[in-house]
Chains A and B, each alone.
Chain A
Amino acid sequence: MQVPGSANLPPRPDNMFPEITPAKQAMQALKKLAAGRSRSTGQSPHETGYILYLEDLNVSFDGFKAINGLTLYVETGELRCIIGPNGAGKTTMMDIITGKTRPDSGSAWFGQSLDLLAHTEPEIAQAGIGRKFQKPTVFEKHTAFQNLELALAGNRGVWANLFAQLAEEQRDRIGGVLAQIGLADAAETPAGRLSHGQKQWLEIGMLLMQNPRLLLVDEPVAGMTPQEVEKTAELLVALSGEHSVVVVEHDMEFVRKIAKRVTVLHQGSVLAEGSMDEVQANPKVVEVYLGEQ
C-alpha cells in the first residue's frame, strides 16, 4: 500500500539493521543508532521527529477487514485530524494505538522505544498516550476540581491515598488545567451539573493531568453548540505543540478550522493525506467521502 504524500518516510529503529540478529550485535547497533541520531538532530526525539509510527497494520473481524495495510506517521507536537466515512477504521485505529485491539499483522510504535503491540492498555496509558472517548465520562458526583485531582498523576495505592494531601504545586497544577480548559469558575461545581461541552473539556483536562505526550481525541465536538465548538477548537490548537494531538472528527467545518494536516481513511487504509485544501481537491477523496455529502 503506497501512501500518497509520504515519500520521505521517517527513520524507524527496529528495521534499520534487519540482517543483524544476535543480541549483542543488536545492542551495539541500537547504541550506534542512538548516537547517530542525537548527532544528526542534536535534539531528543521527544522534541523533534515522529511520535507515532503505524506500519502496514491489518485487522479483520470475522473476515471483515477493518484495517487494511494502514500506514500512518504522526509528528511530535502535531495536530492531526483523521477523517473518513463510517467504517473507515478510525475507531479501530485508536483501539490499536491504546492497546485495546491487537492487529493481525503490522507494527505500531510510540516514539522511538515503545512497541505498542507488546504492551497492555494501562502500560500504554502510563507511557503517555491519553484517549478521550466519544461519550464523555466524568465523575458526576465529584466537583470539576476533584475530577482532575483523581486523574492527577501520582500514587494509585489505597493506603497512600487514604493519607494523601494535595501539595501546593499540585493545587496550582489543577488550577492551571482548570484555566486551560475554561472551567476555572466551575472548579467547585459537581461535574454532573456541567454542560455537555464543559464535560468534554473536563475530560480533556483529566487527560492533561496525566501529562500525556500524545492525545487521542474521538469526535470532540459532537453535540456541541457553535460557541462550544469554537472554544474546543481553540483548546485543541493550544494543546498541540506541547502535546501531539490526533483528532477523529466527522464535522468538516471543525476540521477545516483546526487542521494543518488531514488524513483521510477509507476502508481501513489511508486514502489521502495533506492540508485540508489538498485533501478536498483530491478526486479520490471527493468520490468516496466528500461526494457523499
Chain B
Amino acid sequence: MSNTPSLPRTSVLPDWLRADKNGAVLLAVLAVTAILVPILHLAVPADSPLHLSSYVVTLIGKYLCYAMLALSVDLVWGFCGILSLGHAAFFALGGYAMGMYLMRQIGPRGVYGDPILPDFMVFLNYKELPWFWHGMDMFWFAMLMVAVVPGLLALVFGWLAFRSRVTGVYLSIITQAMTYALLLAFFRNDMGFGGNNGFTDFKDILGFNLKSPNVRIVLLVLSALMLAIGYVLCRWIVSSRTGRVVTAIRDAESRVRFIGYRVENYKLWVFVFSAVLAGIAGALYVPQIGIINPSEFAPINSIEVVIWVAIGGRGTLYGAIVGAVLVNYAKTWFTTALPSAWLYLLGALFVITTLLLPNGLAGMLGTRKARERTA
C-alpha cells in the first residue's frame, strides 16, 4: 500500500481523487489492513490474544476479493444502470484461469504422479493435455488469461446485448442465463475443467508454498493493493467525462444517444472493464481459498453480489466495498452461529434496504451529512 493518499491535502493528487473524502478513508483503512494483518499474523506470537490465526487471515483475504467483485458490479450497475446478475461468472472465470496455472504447478507431485496431466485428467483417462491447457503453466500467460477470458466473454456478450439494445430486466435475465449456462458447462467432466470437483489441492505459486504464512500474507497484501488500485481506477473512470456520459446513460439513455454518443460503445467498454476487474478478483480468491469449482457460477452468487452493493449503497464505489465486507462478515458469523437463519436474514436485509435505504448505508451517511449542512 505505497500509493495510499492518506494525506488528502497534498497537491500531488489530482482533483478527482482529492474530492473523494470517503474514498480516502477507505484507502487508509486498506493501508492499515495491509500493514496490521501481517504484523498480527507473523510478528505477534501465536499464544497472544492479538495474534491473527491463518483462518482469519484467509477470511480477510476472501472479503477483499469479494469487495473487488462488488466494486466491479457497482461500476456497471451503480453508474451505468446495467443490472448484471451474472458477474460471478467473470469472477469464476478469472478464478479458473488462476486454478489452471496452479494445477500445472503441481507437476509430478499429484496423487497419480503424472508430470503433465493434472490428477483429474488421469482419473478421467485423458491421453494428452487439452489445447486450452497449453501455456497455462507459464505465470505471465495465465495472468493474461485471467484478464482476457472474462474480458472476451463480456465483449462478445455485451456486444450482442447492447447492440440489440437489450436493457433493464431482460438484460438481467440473460446475464443470469449466461452464468447458469457456464455452471452447467463447467459441471461436465468432458469440458476439461475437472467437472463437479473443479480444481483443488494446489501446491505452490511461482515456486512459493501456498501453505506458508508468508505467502498467505503476500496474497492478502496483494489483494488489498489490487482492491485499492481497482478503486482508484474506477474512481478515475467515473470522474472523467466518459464517466459522466456513462452516468447520463443510466439516467436518460435515449437522450445521450440523441446528442450523438454511441451508447452501446460506452456500455460495452464499462462492461468489459468491470468483467476484467471481477476476473482479477477471482484470480486472487482462488490461491487464498485453495479451491475453485463450478458452484462459483451459481446464479445465486451473482445475486448476492448485487445485494452487497445495494446494502452498501450503489453508485458510490466505496459503498460496494463496505457492503461486501459487512454482509460477508455477517454471513461468516451467522452461518456458524445460526446457519438456518442466514438466508432469511440476507433476504430481510435486502428488503429493508430497498424499502428504507434506497441508497444503502452510504446513502444514509450522505443524507445525514446533507442534513447537518442545511441545519
Contacts and interface: CB of A to CB of B under 8 A. Distances in A.
Interface of A: 121-122, 125-126, 137-142, 146, 149-151, 156-159, 161-164, 206, 210
Nearest to A164: B241
Contacts of A158: 242, 265-266, 269
Contact of A140 (B245, B251, B261): B251
Interface stretch (B28-36, B252-260, B276-284): B252-260
B244 A150 contact: yes
A164 B239 CA distance: 11
Given A138-B252, A139-B247, A158-B266, 20 more contacts: A121-B258, A122-B257, A122-B260, A125-B259, A125-B260, A137-B254, A139-B251, A140-B251, A142-B247, A150-B241, A150-B244, A150-B259, A156-B261, A156-B262, A158-B265, A159-B242, A162-B240, A163-B240, A164-B241, A210-B260
B178 interface: no
A138 B265 CA distance: 21
Q: Is the interface of A mostly helix, strand, loop or mixed?
A: helix
B248 interface: yes
13 contacts: A125-B260, A126-B260, A137-B254, A139-B252, A140-B252, A141-B251, A142-B244, A142-B247, A146-B244, A150-B241, A150-B244, A156-B260, A163-B240
B364 interface: no
B242 A162 contact: yes
Given A161-B241, A161-B242, A142 B260 contact: no
Contacts of A137: 252, 254-255
B144 interface: no
**Among B254, B258, B262, B269: residue with most chain A CB under 10 A:** B258
Given A125-B260, A158-B266, A164 B240 contact: yes
Interface string B232-247: 0000010011101101
A222 B257 CA distance: 25
Contacts, number: 59
**Among B247, B256, B260: residue with most chain A CB under 10 A:** B260
A147 B222 CA distance: 39
A143 to B, nearest CB: 10
B276 to A, nearest CB: 15
Contacts of B245: 150, 161
Nearest to B255: A137
B37 to A, nearest CB: 34
A210 B260 CA distance: 10
B255 A142 contact: no
A122 B259 CA distance: 8
Contacts of B269: 158
Interface in B202-255: 237, 240-242, 244-245, 247-248, 251-252, 254-255
Contacts of A163: 240
B316 to A, nearest CB: 13
Contacts of B256: 150
Nearest to A166: B241
Interface of B: 237, 240-242, 244-245, 247-248, 251-252, 254-262, 265-266, 269
A159 B237 CA distance: 10
Nearest to A207: B259
A266 B266 CA distance: 43
Contacts of B254: 137
Contacts of A206: 259
**Among B237, B254, B265: residue with most chain A CB under 10 A:** B265
Contacts of B240: 161-164
Nearest to A126: B260
A149 B255 contact: no
A142 B269 CA distance: 21
Nearest to A210: B259
Nearest to B269: A158
Contacts of A122: 257, 260
A165 B247 CA distance: 18
A126 B247 CA distance: 23
Contacts of B242: 158-159, 161-162, 164
Contacts of A210: 259-260
B152 to A, nearest CB: 18
A147 to B, nearest CB: 8
Top 9 closest pairs, chain A to chain B, by CB = A161-B241, A161-B242, A162-B242, A164-B241, A139-B248, A158-B269, A137-B255, A162-B240, A156-B261
A106 B241 CA distance: 42
**Among A122, A149, A163: residue with most chain B CB under 10 A:** A122
Nearest to B236: A162
Contacts of A125: 258-260
A176 to B, nearest CB: 19
Contact of A150 (B248, B257, B262, B265): B248
A187 to B, nearest CB: 15
**Among A142, A149, A158: residue with most chain B CB under 10 A:** A158
A163 B240 CA distance: 7
**Among A140, A150, A163, A206: residue with most chain B CB under 10 A:** A150
B299 to A, nearest CB: 30
Nearest to B237: A162
Contacts of A139: 247-248, 251-252, 255
B322 to A, nearest CB: 21
A164 B242 CA distance: 8
Contacts of A146: 244
A137 B253 CA distance: 10
B266 to A, nearest CB: 6
Nearest to B265: A158
B370 to A, nearest CB: 12
Nearest to A153: B260
Contacts of B247: 139, 141-142
B367 to A, nearest CB: 15
B301 to A, nearest CB: 29
Contacts of B259: 125, 150-151, 206, 210
A149 B241 contact: yes
A166 B89 CA distance: 38
A149 B251 contact: no
